[in-house]
Chains A and B, each alone.
Chain A
């Protein structure tokens, strides 16, 4: 078996994260925690030797990320299964696939994200545009450069925060950026290298693009979610409202022209199942939007460990 050499503990942990990318997030967290405890303890014992050298030795005893991942998966499957609530089953029937969207927690999380995107979108856009504009404006001044670097640093921080939000709400695993530790002799040299790496990283610039794009995207998400939900619920409630509250006649006040034949009670009751179907469609769209957004954001925000 060929052994991959890891130069740092973080590199090993990233490989482990990749090996367990489709596992339960809690399981991944456990595995990362355990591996870090072991590797740090082992390296601390031999702190006079370089980390990469100790790691090469220790990983032979501890196991490669793939071996470790297999161990966690098996133990989870055999022992821990009985102790935890089973994961929701993916329904196989067509009806189950259509209406299963109601019990999928991801649907509601995506819907929430669509509302939240409006708020975060305004903030991201303002931050990105103000920061860029002020950087350009300050460029001729003495503090222009530090201001620009500070702004770029904040962009990278925001990309991590947005990554956390997306991982929690949309379920797209967002690997944390590996901690960059440049090899320099002096502190100034190290800081210089870190700044250079930050500016050369295409993710920095794609994050800036993402932040600016989040305003229009957030507006579209928010509007679509509100209109979709409002329309569906209104259709379900309209017949009863029109009939029992006697608004003028026994009519629904307004129905779109396609549904004109349904404006009189009891024909108007047909609006209830139609509204229900509309709601189902809205939830499906919300879930799909969440999934797509997670994928796009992953590419723009975070370097995916290969």
Chain B
């Protein structure tokens, strides 16, 4: 991965900015229990050790905005290792939006793939 080229970096940044909300929503949607930020970051790390989705710190503001938009539900629980943890779980509205986003993503993916292969 050529991370030195600023044009490549910029493109990667824009790609991840557009898709990180979908990825987070889908990870939380699939989970059987509420997750907190660090757990979510670790789950994404196993799927993507190369950090193509950007730095893990960038997930947090997106989680907050998803929660503010009503797609995620959050609650706080104390922990032994540090400050109280903020747990997230998907809402009904979040599930509906996730379905719509998945459809958009599939369309976009097909479109890009066909353009690249042609």
CB of A187 closer than 8 Å to a CB of B: no
Interface 1/0 per residue, B9-20 and A, CB below 8 Å: 000000001000
Contacts of A36 in B (CB 8 A): 82-83
CB distance from B84 to the nearest CB of A (A): 8
Is the pair A63, B55 in contact by a Cβ cutoff of 8 Å? yes
Is the pair A37, B82 in contact by a Cβ cutoff of 8 Å? yes
Is the pair B83, A37 in contact by a Cβ cutoff of 8 Å? yes
Contacts of B60 in A (CB 8 A): 30-31, 34-35, 38, 71-72
One of A73-81, A91-99, A173-181 at the interface? A73-81
One of A40-48, A130-138, A271-279 at the interface? A40-48
Contacts of B36 in A (CB 8 A): 37, 41
- Pick the residue among B54, B57, B68 that contacts A35 (CB under 8 A): B57
Closest to B70 in A: A83
Closest to A41 in B: B38
Closest to A39 in B: B82
Contacts A36-B83, A37-B82, A37-B83: A61 and B61 contacting too (C-beta < 8 A)?
A: no
Closest to A32 in B: B83
CB of A260 closer than 8 Å to a CB of B: no
Kindly state the separation between the CA atoms of A42 and B45 in the bound complex, as whole angstroms.
Answer: 13
Is the pair A68, B41 in contact by a Cβ cutoff of 8 Å? no
- Pick the residue among B51, B62, B81 that contacts A41 (CB under 8 A): B81
- Pick the residue among A37, A62, A75 that contacts B61 (CB under 8 A): A75
Is the pair B58, A63 in contact by a Cβ cutoff of 8 Å? yes
* Max chain A C-beta neighbours (<10 A), residue from B37, B60, B64: B60
CB of A33 closer than 8 Å to a CB of B: yes
CB of B65 closer than 8 Å to a CB of A: yes
Contacts of B65 in A (CB 8 A): 75, 79-80, 83
Contacts A72-B61, A75-B65: A63 and B81 contacting too (C-beta < 8 A)?
A: no
Contacts of B51 in A (CB 8 A): 61
Kindly state the separation between the CA atoms of A43 and B38 in the bound complex, as whole angstroms.
Answer: 11
Contacts A40-B83, A42-B38, A80-B68: A71 and B61 contacting too (C-beta < 8 A)?
A: yes
Contacts of B55 in A (CB 8 A): 61-63, 67-68, 71
CB of B52 closer than 8 Å to a CB of A: no
Interface 1/0 per residue, A17-38 and B, CB below 8 Å: 0000000000000110111111
Is the pair A63, B56 in contact by a Cβ cutoff of 8 Å? yes
Contacts of B61 in A (CB 8 A): 30-31, 34, 71-72, 74-76, 80
